[in-house]
Structures are given as structure tokens and as C-alpha cells.
Amino acid sequence: MGKTTGFLEYERAEGPMREETERIKDFREFHGRLSITEQRRQAARCMDCGIPFCQAGVMIAGMASGCPLHNLVPEVNDLVYRGRMKEAYERLSVTHSFPEFTCRVCPALCEAACTCGCGGAPVSTKENEKAVIEYAYENGLVKEKIPANRTGKKVAVVGSGPSGLAAAQLLNRRGHEVTVFERRDRVGGLLRYGIPNMKLDKSVIDRRVRLMAEAGVHFVVNADVGRTKDAKELLREFDGVVLCCGASNPRDINAPGRDAKGIRFAVDFLGEVTKRLLDSEFKEVPFDLAKDKDVIVIGGGDTGNDCVGTCIRLGAKSVTQLEMMPKPAEERLPSNPWPEWPRILKTDYGQEEAIAVFGHDPRIYQTTVKEFKKDKSGALKEVVLVSLKPERDEKTGRMNMVPVEGSEKTVPAGLVLIAAGFLGSEKYVTDAFGVETDGRTNVKTKPGDHATTKAGVYTAGDMHRGQSLVVWAISEGRAAAKAVDEALMGYSNL
């Protein structure tokens, strides 16, 4: 696959990125593309490695190794190398519903498991994928399949995030009449309101949704099923229901002073920023949310990083990102061999921008908030930070992060964003449909299945597996669509 000696002849190269000090002036995507000629050279680096872990999508040491969608990575890379972009798109489409999303927001599990990366730089599969899908759009190749015949079966999909869209796409292609219900004012779920525009331009969502609507998928917005829309009505009117509502129950920080004004959940903050930008067609930037404020972001993951980048664009006075765990190693440790997911330090775009603007990395490791302090009006003015250390629990054997006595430090804060992850599905939705949940409040199913404890109701995505990646959500949505199809038709060709 690729050029036999390509990985020896060509160095890894990535698309150009706008300078940090320039890109923070707007909310446009900042990661450009290589020319097709250069992208072909990058695809030529794909080795004839024998065992392509890149497409395995298996769990190793509790972590995913390779693509959960099982994209035929070496075959796609080979077609890109040969300049056969139309065929590369067709091959990618066999397994993938939305390459335009993952090529922008996925952490590239495929590249982490690339054999070429075992002793050097991995193949730039993610950017190869972006080149393929954008070429396909630019040349009119992306067309949603309109079924020749309809089955007469109706399916409701609750939630229009990546899992819901993937399920709706395949069920519609099969010939079922699909209606997607979204509680927000625009379609996209997490893609729309959980990921900033500079990371995923919302026009990318719109063009795919437009194609799906033209192919027959019905979209209903401002329909909060379980509140403004009766769940029992869906159960009566549809032959099947797929719950794809996400793990939208944010984990809180229970510390004194939590009721102070100026403490927000990160996903709510990011959603408001995006909505105000979209409502004004990007003519009005909501500077009032963070301008001249000392911002504390609690959480070191992707959402925390998105908050850092967003607050810098909104004119924050300072941005500090707290991470409970120790700082990762800069290179793989012997205990973390390839092809396991590399547990190494990653400096993402938001942190790069903070370094450029403030002169230092915004992250502080092994630290959390012990107390929030308010002024006389009840507004947040300071936070008390405390250092943490790892300590093994003698009863369970688990390693916990515990406060270090005497390490408290008070710092100014006008805005705190909690990006500490999510606890699972929201109770009002699961109660409305009468489905059972597990100990993590994820919707309960049999292992490897998508049917819930309520007949005719299925689930997919974060609501099913817990907080995860967009690529996993798409995989879940596709699998749930097949389960629904088998139940309705007695077999499935999805």
C-alpha cells in the first residue's frame, strides 16, 4: 500500500496553520490543506506493514487502538497516492458516514496505531482523509443515497449529534422513514454547540444535513423529547425509536462557594458562544462573556482546551487550566508500548495560543479548586487552589489524587469553567421512555447490543457508552441502525 519505500523517502508533513497571534482574532478554521500533489506524497508513506493496526479498532490495555469504524486505511491511502481521489472517496464511504467531521475533530486513533509511527512519524491519515472528503465535495461526488423503495416503517431518532445523524443516514438509505428530533434550535448536537467553530466550521455540518434532508430525512428542531415533546407520542407513532441524546449530564465541582456568580459548565459556555456567533452571522463576538476576566478552566481534556482557545478569542485577561492528574511523559514509556494509545503530553491549539499570548503554558497539573470566594454581591472574585498527590487506597488498591496539606494558594478569578467530564444520560429522558440505566447512568443494553430494556427503543453514542469520541459515536450510530433494521425487517443489509 502506498509507495514501497515512501516512508523512507518522504518526511511527514501537515497542512499549514495560521499563526496563533493571527487566528485568535476570529473564529474561522485555522488548519489549512496541502496541495493534492503533496498529499499524494504523504499517502505514499503508508507502508505495506502486514498487520494494519490503524484500522483494527480493538481495545488494548483498556484503550482503543486503531479506527473504531474500521476504515480501510491502507486502501484509501493507496488510492490517494495514485491520485485516484474519486475511488478513494468511494472506498472511504464504505465504512464512514461523515469523514468531514472526524478529519477535523478526531484525535486520530488510526495514526496512533500506525506501524510507521512505531519508530518514526506516523502516516498523516487524518489529513489524507480530509483531502479525500473535501475533494469529493468540491467535485460534486458527495450525494446521499435516496432509496428506490420505502419500507413503510417509521423510525424516530432523538438527538442530532454524530450518533443520531449516523443512525438516521443509514436507516434512511435502507428505505425507512426517519425523523430526527433535536432539542436545540439547530441540528448537530455536540458537533454544533459543544465544539467551537474554529475547530469545526458549522457550515460543514449544514452541507451534510442539507444533503440528508434532500434524501428524505426529516429534521425537527426545538423538540425537547421528555419535556416539550411527549415521549409516549413517539412510541405510538413510530415503529422504532433510537435514543442518541449524549452524555449531557456534566460532572460538577462540589466546593464551598459553588453558588457564586461566574461559575459555569464548559459545554453551556461554549454553546452560548457558538449560538451568539451564529445568530449574528459572526458579526457580533460575545466579548462580554470573558473580556478582561481572569479565567480558570477546570479540566485538562479536549473541552478544557476548547475553553482556553475560546476565552483567548474573547479577550480574557488570563487563562489558567487545572489538571488533576500528573503531567504526562513527553515520550512513550516502556509501560506504554506501541500500538497502545500513547499516554504522552499533548499541546493542543488552545494551549499553543495561550503560550503565544501569555508567554507560558496555561496548564497546572495535580491541582484543583478547594474553595470559590465571592464578593459582597455574590460574584466570584477568587479561587483557592490546592495541590494534589497520588495515594493508594489500602482497601481498593486504587490510586487516588488527594490534597496536599498546606499547599493552598488563592488566585483571582472572574470566570470559572467546569470541564470535568460528564456523568451520563439525563434522567428526564430515560424516565420519559422508561429505559433502565446502569451504575454510570448510561442506558442499559446487553453487551454489544443497542436494544434497551424497553421494547422498540434503542440507543447509541455517548448515551450508551458514556462520554467518548465523535468517531465512536458515528460507529455506535451505524451499529444501532443495523440493529433497528434487523428488528423491523427480519434481516439487514446495512
**pLDDT tens, 201-221?**
999 999 999 999 999 999 999
Average pLDDT of the chain, as a whole number: 97
Question: Among candidates 416, 399, 184, 379, which has minimal Cα distance to 295?
Answer: 416
For residues 324 and 450, membership in a common domain is answered with no
Q: Are 92 and 99 in contact (CB under 8 A)?
A: yes
Question: Among candidates 195, 416, 409, 254, which has minimal Cα distance to 321?
Answer: 416
For residues 10 and 105, membership in a common domain is answered with yes
For residues 27 and 113, membership in a common domain is answered with yes
Q: Are 300 and 325 in contact (CB under 8 A)?
A: yes
Q: How many CA atoms lie within 13 A of 488 on its CB side?
A: 28
For residue 33, what is the domain's CATH number?
1.10.1060.10
Predicted local distance difference test score (pLDDT) of residue 384: 98
Q: Are 8 and 116 in contact (CB under 8 A)?
A: no
For residue 312, what is the domain's CATH number?
3.50.50.60
Contacts of 394 (CB under 8 A, 6+ apart): none
Q: Are 252 and 422 in contact (CB under 8 A)?
A: no
Question: Among candidates 90, 69, 72, which has minimal Cα distance to 132?
Answer: 90
For residues 441 and 402, membership in a common domain is answered with no
Q: What is the DSSP letter of 315?
A: T
CA dist 63 and 65 (Å) reads: 6
CA geometry: angle 29, 205, 269, nearest 5 deg: 65
360, 390, 418: which is the final residue of a domain? 418
Q: Are 104 and 204 in contact (CB under 8 A)?
A: yes
The domain tally of the chain equals 3
Q: Are 47 and 54 in contact (CB under 8 A)?
A: no
**Structural domain span for residue 115:** 6-138
406-435 pLDDT per residue, tens? 999 999 999 999 999 998 899 999 999 999
Q: Quick one: the chain helix, strand, coil %, rounded to 5? A: 35, 20, 45
Please check the confidence at residue 2 and state whether its pLDDT lies above 90.
no
For residues 118 and 77, membership in a common domain is answered with yes
For residues 242 and 381, membership in a common domain is answered with no
For residues 286 and 391, membership in a common domain is answered with yes
418, 435, 456: which is the final residue of a domain? 418
250-277 pLDDT per residue, tens? 999 999 999 999 999 999 999 999 999 9
Neighbours of 397 (CB within 10 A): 7
Please check the confidence at residue 133 and state whether its pLDDT lies above 80.
yes
| Total-model pTM | 0.96
183-197 pLDDT per residue, tens? 999 999 999 999 999
For residues 269 and 414, membership in a common domain is answered with yes
